[in-house]
Homo-oligomer: A and B are copies of this chain.
Amino acid sequence: MFTLPDYIEPDFSEERFVSAPNARLEAAPVDKAAPRNFHAMSIFPEYFKIEGKWYLAEESRMDCVPVFEKGRIHVREFRNLRQGDMVVTGRTENCEEGIYVHVNCFDWAVRASAGSFAFRQTRSRETAFSYDYERLCELLRYEKEHNGYVVWVMGPACSFDSVARESFAKLVENGYVQALMAGNALATHDLEGAYLGTALGQDIRTQVPHENGHYNHLDTINRINTCGSIERFIQEEHIDSGIIRACVSSGVPFVLNGSIRDDGPLPEVYEHTYVGQDAIRSHVRKATTVIGMATVLHTIAVGNMTPTYRVLADGTIRPVYFYTIDTSEFAVNKLGDRGSLAAKGIVTNVQDFMHNVIRLLEL
């Protein structure tokens, strides 16, 4: 049976906590800038001593700054700082300046006892992945049963194969997807597949190029933009398959971010980079598991804002699991190496990854 590891609460009666000074708070000098010597967050739980009391940053984000406001620690991007925000300063991590970074915060006892090296491994095409697939599927079942929030991050390659598209649609329809993060291309090619049967003009079933198929993604974009929204396009063109259609009909939110390489874009795409980044974070604030597939850009974007822990509504603290799937070891290790037992990478083609997940979940 799958169980979450327990959170190890710091013992604030220890001398180092008791004798620690209060954290220093300094005002941001101008908008978008922190005071010199600002503290920057890690991916781990961090506590700050303010007026004698230790506060946990509840929704953290790496490389952002802790701001004390209205009795809580808010973790804010530099660009969202406003002049006068009270920022914690100090760069020590063990109470010296009233800051405590809680690195070993979960009790991974069973696993860790089996071998101390097990979680430091670089992943390669030669790693045995069956274990990871089984654990992942147990995790997905657990999340479904316990109101977890699974955020899927997808590159365009996820939409190029007919079976992979159908597999992901099944995950959506069966409650394994709480939010989808992607770019203009994923949505465009998925909808091209549903509308015209191709991805970039190549048949998604038979690989045969359609005549003048290089127009297909443009025709899709243009038709959607003529309709005015993806939802209206789905209605008017009777779209009945694919990733985005499944999200729309199941009410699963998706965030599509634009990029400088886009055609189009589709109407739902965020055109302002950092508004889009904030939209991603609005889902990451709830995420209990993140699965990044075949996209370096979007997976890094999400990874950068995903801490190792989540404070649930009832106050309990659990890990956030983070999976990265890519054919490239460079990508998998760049994204998957987070110094956390809850992060794993799998080196494979995302199409086959989808097949395996569907098979193991018996969908």
Question: Would you give the shortest CB distance from A99 to chain B, in whole angstroms?
Answer: 13
Interchain CB contact (< 8 A) of A208 among B115, B353, B356: B115
Once bound together, how far apart are the Cα atoms of A263 and B76, in whole Å?
11
Residues of B within 8 A of A34 (CB): 222
Closest Cβ of chain B: how far from A363's Cβ, in Å? 13
List the B residue with the shortest CB-CB distance to A329: B330
The answer to whether residues A260 and B298 also contact, given A208-B115, A272-B272, A330-B124 and a CB cut-off of 8 A, is: yes
CB distance from A332 to the nearest CB of B (A): 10
Q: Which of B126, B130, B162, B304 contacts A128 (CB 8 A)?
A: B162
Check if A347 sits within 8 Å of B359, measured CB to CB: no
Q: Which residues of B contact A280 (CB under 8 A)?
A: 260
Q: With the chains together, A299 CA to B333 CA distance in Å?
A: 23
Whether a CB of chain B sits under 8 angstroms from the CB of A226 is yes
> At the interface, yes or no: A215 with Cβ under 8 Å from chain B?
yes
A272-297 residues at the B interface, CB under 8 angstroms: 272-274, 276-277, 280, 294, 297
A130 touches B164 (CB 8 A): yes
Q: Does chain B have a CB within 8 A of A121?
A: yes
Q: Does B260 lie within 8 Å of A218, measured CB to CB?
A: no
Give the residues from 116 to 157 in chain A that come closer than 8 angstroms, CB to CB, to chain B: 117-118, 121-122, 124-132, 156-157
Closest to A298 in B: B260
Beta-carbon nearest neighbor of A281 in chain B:
B260
B contact residues around A32 at 8 Å (CB): 225, 267
What 0/1 readout, one digit per residue, does chain A (82-118) give for beta carbons within 8 Å of chain B? 0000000001000000000000000000000011011
- Tell me whether A260 and B277 are in contact (CB under 8 A): yes
Please give, as numbers and ranges, the residues of chain B lying within 8 Å of A304 by CB-CB distance. 261, 263
